Amino acid sequence: MAALVWCVWSVAYSPLTQLKLQSRRKRWQYEVDLDGLSYRIRGTTDNLCWEANWDGHLLNPVFELTAYEGLTADHWVFLRLRRGREVSISTLLAHAFTGQVQPAWVIGLSQAREVQTNLPEFDREFLLAAAGHGQALQISISPEYLARLKNLPKTILVGLMIIWGEGKLRVRVEGFRGGAGFAPIEQLLELARQSLQQLHCPAERESSVETPSTCQNI
């Protein structure tokens, strides 16, 4: 009897079950593999269209939240913790072995150069880099944005990389194993929204306000 109660409790309160219930409440589209090692969630929050994926089949499981903003540019911007986990070779090789197309941002990452911001404290703790920009990129970081980054759970922060380019912003967490891939989606959505404002140079930021977000190509 105790074993049956434990089985029912573990299923009802498992992270994936809780995530499924949250998706129903929020009216998000939720898909999970039969083995429970990957899922996809799609939704629209405050007119921002997004998709969240977790792949637990990789040697270093990856969670990635992609937000579509509709503003394209010819360069890439990358942000991560200076002492954080770098993108592993095994993750990139997984695309080749599974026949998947290598993400377009990989080439940009290999060519990216560090960008200094207006906030020395940010530059000491985080690495901001850009590739493909025709002139020196000027990005102003607010103290509020820095505080939001520093307040992220350590399990997320250490593997975090934020990628902006091709009209999409990706919040990527490599090595995320906690809770069967369960991540604080709403917290990361707010981080994505702030990142869309922070990681543009001033001229791009003005344009992004005028460009409506749509759900295509996400």
Tokens 């380019």: give the residue: 165
Q: Which two tokens stand for residue 83?
A: 């002492």
Lowest mean pLDDT among 6-10, 108-112, 177-181, 192-196: 6-10
Q: Render 121-176 in DSSP notation, one character per residue.
A: HHHHHEEEEEES-SS-------HHHHHHHHTS-HHHHTTEEEEEETTEEEEEEET-
Q: What is the pLDDT of residue 162?
A: 96
pLDDT band with cut points at 50, 70 and 90 for residue 92: low
Each residue's pLDDT tens digit, 116-152: 999 999 999 999 999 986 656 788 999 999 999 999 9
**Is 208's pLDDT higher than 50?**
no
pLDDT for the residue 204? 52
pLDDT tens digit sequence for 27-79: 899 998 878 788 999 999 988 999 999 988 888 888 999 999 766 666 899 99
Q: What pTM, to 2 d.p., does this model score? A: 0.82
Confidence of residue 11 (pLDDT cuts 50, 70, 90): very low
